[in-house]
Structure 1
Amino acid sequence: MTEHELSPLFERIACPETMPTLAHPDVETWRPVGDHDLDLIVVLEAAMAAADHPEYALPRAELADDLGMSFVDRERDSIVALDADGRAVAWGLVHHPPGHDTLVRSILVGGVHPEWRRRGIGRVLLAWQRARGEQQLAASDLPLPGWIMGFTDDRARGAGPLLESEGFTAARYFAGLRRDLGEPVDDVRAGAGIRVEALQATRADEVRTARNDAFRDHWGSQPRSEEEWRVFLSSAVFRMDLSVVAIDEASDRVVGFVLGEVNEDDWDGQGFSSVHVPLVGVVRGHRGRGVAKALLAAHLIAAGDAGLEYSTLEVDAANPTGAFALYEAMGFRAATTETSYTIVV
């Protein structure tokens, strides 16, 4: 074995034989998340959003989708904490997605109700999540890096210090951008041989292939599975009419994409109507030809024509494709910041 080769993950991580005890005087019950808990968690997430990031909250359907993935073991991967009145005061999920080309990931989501913070509940929850993440990584025989990952909106002031106290390190910074759709959009065309058009359902799986290629050099990214992609595209907030693709006319294949979502429930917290862009990408062989700029222009025009006021997205501040500068050139401006924390095995 050379210095650049890794032994299998199960040889490099000490798997906890038992999970940490879930106990706190303010919590009456800790249990895996059941279907009957979804509405309780939605109320909890709404309170967390109001305190930490009022312009977006977790929709119930997305929560159900996340917990319903075939690779999620609710009994072992999820937890909800209830007070004596049956209200959800905290919850967590340790997500272990199946894409493992260059990295094995366990991703922590969840949190504590603002009224129950600074009592130690978050520390109990995070210790449990970290241990579950270690168990997931230790079950892998792949000779790849293993990451336990957590993301925080920087307005949630206590989240970063809590993660650091549990051994996580701030690893990457992201900016939330927004673009006023009332501002003019330049007429931008892609290079010769590239056609930009609205996304059609018949191209959906091609976009997954293009996404997996485009994001291979993006920090922390791994391929999306067919199941993950199907759930993503079938979401109630996904908008085919606000999504555009770039087609290479010689091969008739998708080489770039901008995808849009609209969640009207977020508009009150934002103070404006909006479309959110969860994914922008160009396959590596077609970069440097103006494809991304043309796609963004087409998306912005479609969103403006739909009567929406803003387009929003997130970008890795150190994105290797120079995306941050591109978005600024297209009129996007920074509005929020987020930090990703990791434990690397």
Structure 2
Amino acid sequence: MLPEDPGLPSGWAAEAPDGTDEAVVARLTELLRAHERVARGWAGASEDDVLVEVSERGLAMRENLVVRDEAGEIRAWGSVHDRAAGRMLYVHVVDRDLPGPAASACSDVLFTWAEAQAREVGAARGRAVQQIDTGAFQDDERQHGWLEGRGFERVRTWWQMTRPVSAGEAGLVPDPVDWERGGVRFRRVGTAPDGMPDEQDLRAVHDVLEGAFTDHFNSAEETFDEFIHRLEEDPGHRWDHWWLAELLDGDVPEACGALVGTVSESASGPDGSYVAYLGVLGSARGRGVATGLLHTIIADAAASGRDLVGLEVDADSPTGAHGLYTSMGWQTRYVTESWHKDVRV
């Protein structure tokens, strides 16, 4: 993946990290948290977030590279994730304490490796062109400069929004487990006899989200197995935070909306809830499905003693979703960006 001399300072080396080594995981977490503090103003990452990338389970769809200095200290980390056909996610973290030349050398090595990974992933997927999709905080000028220098383009802006939750909002809906309004039923995904979620319900969630996001920015088709594997990796994953909305117009309920929630764990206060996915099929829009699903997760959060619900919204969403969220009390806490580069396979 790299030339014999990748351009690192004398005595430095690039290698795959050992995700089973606690010291490695701790160091990567330290690097990631420092990156967040400088670029955003505070750190939120945990070792669980790092393990999603470097653990044995994470490596089913990922590869990682670290750069070590002459003393063996990890100074940079890259991770690629074969997210879906034609779309490879990329994490790019360089020690914030490194001086400019050494930091830039690490950055160049990570980009060279990521582009080689993109060609490998694209070839395995039968693609002529493979997209690299990476993110940056809005005010991270160092990262912006590196991305522009390697031919990435800033393609989208995302508002990271939060909404406070009060205890009284537990009564916002009759019961977050199962309730109805205006010919629409809102319910948690069912449970099979073995205690696991009902597969038919999970497939309904997947089908709704695939259908709802077909025309959205950078939508890439994802198989059911890819979808389930990826969402189970989230440190905040909880099966009881998956909801379906169903139209009751006919003889058989018809799935028309879905919300996948997670738990945002907090070390200093109550946990929060997070809307990882919210989708409504076009045939059901205008019937209060999105509002009903949002009221459901808010009520569930309140009943669970949580103090906020977070979500991400496309600043250029064609559905005007940000208007709905703002009207319901969400406010932007910080802003992120998507940067893309197409690599010819």
Structure 2 residue aligned with 1:130:
115
Kindly tell me: are residues 31 and 133 of structure 1, through their superposed partners in 2, closer, same or farther at Cα, counting changes over 3 Å?
Answer: same
Structure 2 residue aligned with 1:7:
none
Kindly tell me: are residues 223 and 88 of structure 1, through their superposed partners in 2, closer, same or farther at Cα, counting changes over 3 Å?
Answer: same
- Do residues 96 (structure 1) and 95 (structure 2) align? no
TM (norm. structure 1) is 0.80
Residue identity opposite 1:41 in structure 2? L
Structure 1 residue aligned with 2:156:
172
Query: Aligned residue pairs: how many?
Result: 317
CA contact (8 A) 1:276 1:313 kept: yes
Residue identity opposite 2:18 in structure 1? G
Report SS of the residue matched to 1:276: strand
| Structure-1 separation of matches of 2:281 and 2:338 | 25
- Do residues 261 (structure 1) and 245 (structure 2) align? no
Kindly tell me: are residues 237 and 206 of structure 1, through their superposed partners in 2, closer, same or farther at Cα, counting changes over 3 Å?
Answer: same
- Do residues 281 (structure 1) and 279 (structure 2) align? yes
Kindly tell me: are residues 181 and 33 of structure 1, through their superposed partners in 2, closer, same or farther at Cα, counting changes over 3 Å?
Answer: same
| Structure-2 separation of matches of 1:222 and 1:20 | 35
Kindly tell me: are residues 187 and 272 of structure 1, through their superposed partners in 2, closer, same or farther at Cα, counting changes over 3 Å?
Answer: closer
CA contact (8 A) 2:53 2:79 kept: no
Kindly tell me: are residues 108 and 230 of structure 1, through their superposed partners in 2, closer, same or farther at Cα, counting changes over 3 Å?
Answer: closer
Residue identity opposite 1:254 in structure 2? A
Question: Gaps (5+ residues) in structure 2?
Answer: 174-178, 191-196
Kindly tell me: are residues 68 and 62 of structure 1, through their superposed partners in 2, closer, same or farther at Cα, counting changes over 3 Å?
Answer: closer
Deviations 1:216-268 (A, max 9, x none): 1121122333144134136442133444321233443432122222232x444
> 1:1-345 residue pairs with structure 2 within 5 A?
21-25=5-9, 28-35=12-19, 36=21, 37-53=24-40, 54=42, 56-58=44-46, 59-64=49-54, 68-72=58-62, 74=63, 78-97=64-83, 99-100=84-85, 104-116=86-98, 118=100, 119-120=103-104, 121-137=106-122, 141-142=126-127, 146-182=130-166, 192-200=182-190, 201-202=197-198, 203-225=201-223, 226-233=225-232, 235-249=234-248, 250=250, 251-264=252-265, 266-268=266-268, 273-344=271-342
Percent same amino acid among aligned pairs? 24
Report SS of the residue matched to 1:24: coil
Report SS of the residue matched to 2:60: coil
Residue identity opposite 2:109 in structure 1? V
Residue identity opposite 1:113 in structure 2? D
Deviation of 1:177 (Å): 0.4
| Structure-2 separation of matches of 1:215 and 1:292 | 14
Deviation of 1:303 (Å): 0.5
Residue identity opposite 2:45 in structure 1? A
| Structure-1 separation of matches of 2:151 and 2:270 | 39
Structure 1 residue aligned with 2:176:
none
Kindly tell me: are residues 219 and 115 of structure 1, through their superposed partners in 2, closer, same or farther at Cα, counting changes over 3 Å?
Answer: same
Kindly tell me: are residues 276 and 22 of structure 1, through their superposed partners in 2, closer, same or farther at Cα, counting changes over 3 Å?
Answer: farther
CA contact (8 A) 2:159 2:315 kept: yes
How much is the aligned-residue C-alpha RMSD, in angstroms? 3.0
| Structure-2 separation of matches of 1:317 and 1:233 | 27
Report SS of the residue matched to 2:134: strand
CA contact (8 A) 2:237 2:262 kept: yes
CA contact (8 A) 2:121 2:130 kept: no
Residue identity opposite 1:256 in structure 2? G
Kindly tell me: are residues 221 and 114 of structure 1, through their superposed partners in 2, closer, same or farther at Cα, counting changes over 3 Å?
Answer: same
Deviation of 1:42 (Å): 2.6
Deviations 1:123-173 (A, max 9, x none): 332233234324433555447x64222111224331112101111111111
| Structure-1 separation of matches of 2:166 and 2:11 | 48
| Structure-2 separation of matches of 1:230 and 1:94 | 16
| Structure-2 separation of matches of 1:113 and 1:140 | 33
CA contact (8 A) 1:267 1:274 kept: no
Question: Gaps (5+ residues) in structure 1?
Answer: 1-16
CA contact (8 A) 1:38 1:63 kept: no
CA contact (8 A) 2:172 2:299 kept: no
Kindly tell me: are residues 71 and 306 of structure 1, through their superposed partners in 2, closer, same or farther at Cα, counting changes over 3 Å?
Answer: closer
